[in-house]
Each structure stands twice: as C-alpha cells, then as structure tokens.
Amino acid sequence: MSPPKPARAKQVNVELPEDLEPKYANFVLITHSPAEIILDFAQILPRAPKGKVQSRILMTPMHAKLLQNALSQNLTQYESKFGAIQTFQGPTLADHLFKQAPPPADKE
C-alpha cells in the first residue's frame, strides 16, 4: 500500500476591479464575537480630534488565524529582504504616533 499523496493547493483566480481604490490605514480596531472577527481599519492624523474608519472587514476566527499566519510569513520574508522592522516600546503605538509636541521652552 502506497503512502497517501499530499493534497495540492488549489489555485484561485482573483479579479481586481479597475476602479478599486486603495485605502490607507494606520490604526485598526479589532473586536470579536464567538462567530466572527471584526477589523475596522481607520486613518488617524496627529493632533486630529478623531479618526475615520475607512474599511470594515468581517471574517471567521479560522480565516483570521489564516490571515495571521499569512502576515507572519510575509513579514518574515520582508524582513529577510529589507531588514528588521522597528517597533515602538512603551505604553501604546498611539502614544508614540500621536503624542503632543512639547511646549516651546521659554527663553529668558
């Protein structure tokens, strides 16, 4: 009896509409229920009073896990080609990106 053959990955053809406009996001709100993961991608500008959600993506927890794996693989490939991505250490990324500028020093 021969060993089972490994399953082949199916190739999927994805069509990108010509009028598809990319959305920039520098912030994401992530929430979940037992059945879905919700990703709200937003733009937040420094010193702006609020941000605006640009896109909402809903997916199953399984698909979120697959996305996590795909992002991990792609970031590993990116870093091997371009070097390590620097991340901020400290309270939160928002604290680093949107901290208020210090007041100007008084000149005496």
For residues 73 and 71, what is the distance between their CA atoms, to the nearest angstrom? 5
pLDDT digits (tens, 9 = 90+) for 15-59: 999 999 999 998 899 999 999 999 999 998 888 888 899 999 999
For residues 59 and 33, what is the distance between their CA atoms, to the nearest angstrom? 11
What residue spans define the domains of the chain?
Answer: 27-84
pTM above 0.95, yes or no: no
Per-residue pLDDT, 68:
97
Per-residue pLDDT, 82:
97
Q: Which residue carries 């698909």 as its tokens?
A: 63
Q: Which residue carries 């733009």 as its tokens?
A: 43
